[in-house]
Each structure stands twice: as C-alpha cells, then as structure tokens.
Chains A and B, each alone.
Chain A
Amino acid sequence: MLPSQIVLLILVGLFAIYIFRLRSTTGDRVTYLGLAALGGALIIDPEFTNRVAARLGVGRGADLMFYFFIIFALFHFATTAATIRRLQRNLTELAQAQALAQPRPPAVMAPPRSPATPSA
C-alpha cells in the first residue's frame, strides 16, 4: 500500500468518526458511512473507478469522480440553502414575537385620539 493511500484512509476514518458523533439519525449515519466505505474501497482499488467509467462511457475514472463531486456539491448547496432559509424564518418569527411583546408607547403626549394599548 502506498503512503498516500494510508493517509487518505486515515482521513476517511476520521470522517466516519465525525459522522457518527455529529449525525444522530440512523438514515444519515447509514448514508454517510456508506459513502465513507465507498471512498475507502476506491482508495484501496483505484482501478475500480476506471472500470466503472469505461462501462458508463465517461472515459477516465477521475472524470467520473469529478462528475459525482459536482452532483454532491449541488445537493449539499441545496440542502444548506434550505437549512439557512428555515433558520432565517425562525429568527424572523422570534424577533417579531419579541418586538410585539414590548410595544413602546409615545414618549410625549400624543393627540387625545391616541389609542389604548393594543394587546399585541
């Protein structure tokens, strides 16, 4: 085994540990550990991607990996964007509720028609 393969396998192993600590749902764990296992297999047998690529008509295994990486990156971008939108919505609702809970009446005497405190 080449030194670079050993280094890469250690990195994949660290990724697997990280996943297990951070992801709590079984589905996520299975998915990401599956990815890690696939990564490990590809490191041990680099020719495997070339064989698959040849069968799919892509050409080189490196190209195939690159295409997979693009798809994964787009997927990751979409899910991250959705998470950010959800967090933004939560933040908005929280700040709005906070604001409405503490209405500040005018500091000077407004005209007599001024309203009673709305029960916000």
Chain B
Amino acid sequence: MTVTASDRAATWVIIAAYEEARSIGGVVQQLIADHWRVLVVDDGSDDATADAAQVAGAWVVRHDVNLGQGAALATGFAFAAADRSTRFVVTFDADGQHDAAAIPRMIAPLASGEFDVTLGSRFLDGEGFTGMPATRKALLRLATRLARLTTGLDLTDTHNGMRAFRGEVLERMIHRQDRMAHASEIQAEIARLGLRYREVAVRVTYTDYSLSKGQRLIDAVSILWDLLAAKAR
C-alpha cells in the first residue's frame, strides 16, 4: 500500500507550535520538501514562530493568546475541516523530534480504507525511543496502563504527538481539552465512536532541545486534574 500524490495533496500536516522559532522552520521545510501541505497553529508565541513557519512554506493561523496544545490542534482540525479537499489530517510535533518519513506509513492504513485513525508508537518495535531518559519511559508506561484501564484501547504508547485521522471522523470527534489532556481525550473519543485504529511504529529522536520542551512529571498531575475536572462537569 503506497501513498499517492493525490493522497498527499489531500492531507494536512498540522503542527501546534508555541515559542518554537528555533526549530519550526526546519521542521516545515522538511515536510514541504516531501510535498505535504503544512498548517502551523501558532499558539500565541511571543517569538517569531509564525513568521518562521510562513517563510518555510506553511500556512499559519495564530491564536492571540496562549491556549494550550489541545486547543491549537482543535483550531488546526477546524481549519482542515473547512477545506473540502481534506481527506487526511496528520498531527506532528514542532520541536523536530518526529520523522517526516513516517507520515506515509501513518496514512497508508487510512488510504486503504481499513482504519480511521493511526497513532504513532515509540514502543511497538522496541527501538523507537532513541535517547529517551529512563524516568520519561517509566512515566509513559504508567500513562499507557492508565489509558488502557479507562478507555479499553489496546495501545503501547498513549502520548505520542504523531497521529493521523481520516477527515470525516475527525469532524465527529469532540475536542474540548485545551491543554495536554487532549491526548487522553482523543483516545476516549476513539473508544466512544468505535473508530478503527491501529498503532504505527515511529521513531522519536530526543535532543536536549526537544526534552526541554516536552512533558515533565508534574505535567502528569495537571493532565489528570484536567481529566477529572472534565468528568465532573
């Protein structure tokens, strides 16, 4: 199963970016070189993130205030939904830790009509987490187990920023978590809507830069808090 040029032209690669002026240009260029359409949602950055993305060849929409990654992706999804040519939407990290070469493997299961959603996993082939610190690995394993308990989804990696959706299922999903709890929300929505999903092995390269932008242990607490608050509503 290969991804055709028309598949590429019907895909939006969405990047939520906050204060990523240092890395966003290179990330966008790499995607543009691979003939992807790129949308960068600048989540209220004070630096030149939006300009850097635009110059590198991306479409840009910009939040006037910082809302969080979940809200930024939701804005991107709405943008893609408004484009009638959209068939696939891929989410991609702004900090350069994802590999653009993995996108066709993410989309192929959707293009074949077999699946609605593909989720990137660092743990499928046992070597997808180059340079990942041990504490982060342990935290991710814990989050994965928790997600399995709450959603029943059979996943090996629950907090991977690389995901691909068929456009029409994306529109049926609810995106209400502004901050990092959106990852859990997406899984809950996959379970609620009974979407056909599978994981795809992706490699994530950890650098000092990407680690400094990533999740810390304390974030796990605030993610849990967001989810509990949502349940209580």
Chain A interfacial positions (CB closer than 8 Å to B): 81, 85, 88-89, 91-92, 95-96, 98-100, 102-108, 110-111, 113-115, 118-120
New A-B pairs, 9, CB < 8 Å, besides A81-B229, A99-B41, A115-B85: A95-B71, A96-B78, A99-B63, A100-B61, A102-B62, A103-B60, A104-B54, A107-B55, A118-B80
B51: chain A residues within 8 A (beta carbon):
107
Query: Which residues 23-65 of B have a CB within 8 angstroms of A?
Result: 32, 35, 37, 41, 44, 50-51, 54-65
Chain B interfacial positions (CB closer than 8 Å to A): 5, 8-9, 32, 35, 37, 41, 44, 50-51, 54-65, 67, 71, 74-75, 78-80, 82-86, 176, 178, 229, 233
Beta-carbon contact of A115 and B83 below 8 Å: yes
Give which listed residue, A100, A115, A119, A120, contacts B37 with CB less than 8 A.
A115
B62: chain A residues within 8 A (beta carbon):
99, 102, 104
**CA–CA, A118 to B32, complex, Å?**
18
A103: chain B residues within 8 A (beta carbon):
59-61, 79
Q: Who on chain B is nearest to A105 by CB?
A: B59
Beta-carbon contact of A100 and B85 below 8 Å: no
A106: chain B residues within 8 A (beta carbon):
54, 56-59
Instruction: Return the 10 tightest CB-CB contacts between A and B, nearest first.
Output: A118-B83, A99-B61, A107-B54, A104-B60, A120-B82, A95-B63, A106-B57, A96-B75, A118-B82, A113-B9
CB distance from A65 to the nearest CB of B (A): 28
Query: Knowing A91-B65, A113-B8 touch, does A120 contact B78 (C-beta < 8 A)?
Result: yes
Q: Report 6 cross-chain contacts, Cβ distance below 8 Å, ordered by A residue.
A: A96-B78, A99-B62, A102-B62, A103-B79, A104-B60, A108-B57
A85: chain B residues within 8 A (beta carbon):
229, 233
